[in-house]
Amino acid sequence: MNIERKKKRGWRANLLWFADAAKKELSYLQDGLLITAEGADGVVRIEALGAYQEVRQKYCDVSVTHWPDRCIAPGFIDLHVHYSQTDVIASPAQGLLPWLEQYTFPHEKRFSEIDYASSVARYFLDELQRNGVTTALCFATSHVESVDALMQEAQARRLRMITGKVLQDRFSPDGLRDVDTAQSLQQTQSLIEKWHKKDRLGYAITPRFAPTSSERQLRGCGELAQQYPDVWVQSHAAENKDEIRWVKELYPKARSYIDVYDQVGLLRQRAIYAHCVHIDGEDRDRLADVGASIACSPTSNLFLGSGFFDFAGADEAGVKYGLASDVGGGTSFSPFVTMHAAYTVALQDAGRRSHSLSPHDLWWMHTAGAAQCLGLEGIVGNLLPGCEADFVVINPSATELLKRRTTQAESLEEWLFAMIVLGDDRLISRTVIQGDDYAKVGQAYWPEI
Ligand code: GUN
Ligand code: ZN
């Protein structure tokens, strides 16, 4: 046991967090102090936070790292991303289905090789951390090796990371398609037993989407979802109009795309469906009733021409949702770029109510709100005492324009908006995971602060 790790540590900077977990509103504190401590279970959590002068009195013998002019904020959560598509990013196509066929499926075949998968997993996790993303709900590929590769890398970095083997037993090329449906389900079960709840790792049952799974495979996933209620479920739904037509042909008895998943027992808490752009009120009510969530991926929906997510409709129905990059359909790993895109999309009047999302709303959707979708509220996505110690250190003066605009901000809202609209990976000076400053273990190109 590393004695050093047992120590409490202090982190002095400005603080940004959701002080009242019930409110989607950020609090900002100038010159704060955050105290972290390792628990008996080996997990480093936040023990206290508040004004530096006050908290320091209680923790006078704790060693403190001081970042003046920087702001500590919760690590971001990416609610839907494909690590296996890190190198598919920026591949243009005529919409979702041609994009899958021309770029994504051929590329994902490469993840049968564990060495290749591991090298991509390392790059991907570096990229998440460079962008301040500390937890992700992530698609692997249909290969068991692709799950092992990401889990091993995430475990070595002590990350809270969730992933799963993709299930796809039809309409997929050789080398990616599950050739034996029963085996694909057995592999899923073995991977759950191997990885779920190992350190901070979690497993997600991952049918790719309704068209590429036989009904038998989806039913098998539903049975596993019932057998393992605290395992996550992730898939895609109602992203693109051609895809929806195809699902109607394949599942003619289902009332809707969402109903396909409902009929096989895949709608429940801890089930997160990416996109849900083209769903109706009945679907929204059903998602809300069962406690399932939506991963809203605005850069992907814009890039692939999928459509505009209805934020007002989701709010009205009370469905939980959070933000996601959906790389490689999505075009950026940066939560700031995703929040900016969500703002732009919500404001469009595309035959539905346009909606001006506040910076508090946007930040919530990528941190504490995303944690709520995962059933991890109070664990990640905030800095309240008891939360795990994964946080980012923001430099609001990272670029000349950011510096110019943020220093002129006259309110917290203006300051947050400036970062959301003008920000990218350069805003993140440091990513601290479990009390380990990633700048020390990260890549050589990490910027000095
Ligand atoms: N639907 C099925 N597979 C995928 C995928 O890899 N990306 C996106 N955006 N949608 C999908
Ligand atoms: Zn996706």
- For residue range 287-346, list pLDDT tens digits in order: 999 999 999 999 999 999 999 999 999 999 999 999 999 999 999 999 999 999 999 999
> For residue 2, is pLDDT > 50?
no
3-class state of residue 282 by DSSP: helix
Model pLDDT, residue 446? 47
- Cβ–Cβ under 8 Å, residues 5 and 38: yes
Mutate to test the pocket of ligand 1, among 84, 89, 100, 218 (most ligand atoms within 8 A of CB): 100
Amino acid at 166: V
**Domain range 3-75+383-441, its CATH number among 3.30.1490.20, 2.30.40.10, 3.40.50.300, 3.30.360.10:** 2.30.40.10
Mutate to test the pocket of ligand 1, among 78, 82, 96, 244 (most ligand atoms within 8 A of CB): 96
* Residues present in the chain in total: 449
Give pLDDT tens digits for 356-378.
999 999 999 999 999 999 999 99
**pLDDT-based confidence at residue 104 (cuts at 50, 70, 90):** very high
Please indicate whether the domains covering 3-75+383-441 and 76-374 agree at the CATH topology level: no
For residues 31 and 67, give the distance between their C-alpha atoms in angstroms, rounded to a whole number: 9
Closest by CA to 277, choosing from 244, 246, 245, is 244
Q: Provide the residue ranges of all domains of the chain, joining segments of one domain with +.
A: 3-75+383-441, 76-374
> For residue 21, is pLDDT > 90?
no
CA distances 447 to 260, 420, 427, Å, are 47, 20, 10
Which pair of tokens denotes residue 33?
Answer: 């102090």
Closest by CA to 363, choosing from 75, 169, 87, is 75
Q: What's the predicted TM-score (pTM) here?
A: 0.96
Closest by CA to 120, choosing from 105, 106, 130, 110, is 110
Average pLDDT of span 143-151: 98
Average pLDDT of span 148-166: 97
State ipTM: 0.99
- The answer to whether the CB of 107 is under 6 A from ligand 1 is no
**pLDDT-based confidence at residue 45 (cuts at 50, 70, 90):** very high
Query: In percent, how much of the chain has pLDDT > 90?
Result: 93
Give pLDDT tens digits for 280-298.
999 999 999 999 999 999 9
Model pLDDT, residue 217? 98
**pLDDT-based confidence at residue 56 (cuts at 50, 70, 90):** very high
Average pLDDT, the chain: 95
Model pLDDT, residue 439? 57
Sorted by sequence, the CB contacts under 8 Å of residue 375 that are 6+ apart come out as 230, 269, 270
**Between 198 and 22, whose confidence is greater?**
198
> For residue 442, is pLDDT > 70?
no
Query: First CA to last CA across the chain, in angstroms?
Result: 31
For residues 81 and 55, give the distance between their C-alpha atoms in angstroms, rounded to a whole number: 38
**pLDDT-based confidence at residue 438 (cuts at 50, 70, 90):** low
Ligand nearest to the CA of 303: 1
3-class state of residue 372 by DSSP: helix
Phi, psi of 147, deg, nearest 5: -75, -50
Model pLDDT, residue 6? 61
Query: In percent, how much of the chain has pLDDT > 70?
Result: 96
Model pLDDT, residue 443? 47
Model pLDDT, residue 354? 83
**pLDDT-based confidence at residue 353 (cuts at 50, 70, 90):** confident
- The answer to whether the CB of 96 is under 6 A from ligand 1 is yes
Map 424-441 to HEC letters.
CHHHEEEEEECCEEHHHH
Q: How far is CA 372 from the centre of its chain?
A: 12
> For residue 52, is pLDDT > 50?
yes
- The answer to whether the CB of 423 is under 6 A from ligand 1 is no
**pLDDT-based confidence at residue 350 (cuts at 50, 70, 90):** confident
Nearest CA to ligand 1 atom 3: 208
Kindly report the CATH number that applies to the domain delimited by 76-374. 3.20.20.140
- The answer to whether the CB of 82 is under 6 A from ligand 1 is yes
- The answer to whether the CB of 329 is under 6 A from ligand 1 is yes
> For residue 178, is pLDDT > 70?
yes
Model pLDDT, residue 436? 78
Model pLDDT, residue 373? 98
Mutate to test the pocket of ligand 1, among 137, 141, 206, 208 (most ligand atoms within 8 A of CB): 208
Average pLDDT of span 388-399: 97
Query: Which DSSP string do the residues of 71-89 spell out, in sequence order?
Result: EEEEPEEEEEEEGGGTTTT
Phi, psi of 434, deg, nearest 5: 55, 40
Closest by CA to 105, choosing from 168, 52, 164, 61, is 168
Give pLDDT tens digits for 188-206.
999 999 999 999 999 999 9
Give pLDDT tens digits for 225-269.
999 999 999 999 999 999 999 999 999 999 999 999 999 999 999
